[in-house]
Amino acid sequence: YFVWFRTDGRLTGCNYILDKKKTVTALKAVMMYFVLGITILRSYADSVWTEEGVCVVLNSTITADMNCSYNCGSDCWRVSKYPCLQVYVSVNNTGHVSRLSHNEETQDCFYVPKCQKDSVVMHTMIMNISERLKVNQQVPCYYDPSEQQESVLLTRMYGHSAVFHSLFWPSCMLAGGTLIILMVKLTQYLSILCEEIGKIKR
């Protein structure tokens, strides 16, 4: 850490440090935007469930108990269980049977609850979901038109809306970071200009 004074008594070292911190903060915001943008857009581009259709529930069954781990303190993890619900549907009344998943990350079971110590709570949650997905009930779903993926999704994690909301606030931060950099550069330019004018007046 350092400070120095100009001959006219004005403190310039602290201003330099503050300007440098502002620039670093702005550059971090820019880097975060690009990292997040690349991650979200890549996931969106890789998603194959692009067509929206109507799925008719054919069957919903609890198939087995699945193990999961929950945090019980510092460096402490314990095992709990939740029931695996599998839901089978017919897409667009075509007769083609597919397994319905809640989103891209729940392929083996329809829904994966947040793991917790009380397995009864998770069991009750899954049973409530099963009761809502009654036979012959119609639900909106997303499917792979190329039929490379046999499963279909109830919701997309990386759809148009998700991409928009994920990039909106980082875009605001990017604009703010760019504005900070421009203000820092303008301040530096004005400081140099004032110094040059002061030399001419002497």
Give 17-85 as a DSSP string: HHHHHHHHHHHHHHHHHHHHHHHHHHHHHH----EEEEEEEEEEEEEEEEEEEEEEETTEEEEEEEEEE
pLDDT tens digit string along 46-93? 567 778 899 999 999 999 999 999 988 888 899 999 999 999 999 987
Confidence (pLDDT) at 5: 41
- How much of the chain exceeds pLDDT 90, in percent? 30
Residues in the chain predicted with pLDDT less than 70, given as ranges, are 1-30, 32-47, 158-170, 201-202
Picking from 174, 167, 168, the residue whose alpha carbon sits closest to that of residue 25 is 174
In sequence order, the 6+-apart residues with CB closer than 8 A to the CB of 38 are: none
Q: What distance in Å separates the CA atoms of residue 144 and residue 48, rounded to the nearest whole number?
A: 5
pTM for the predicted model, two decimal places: 0.59
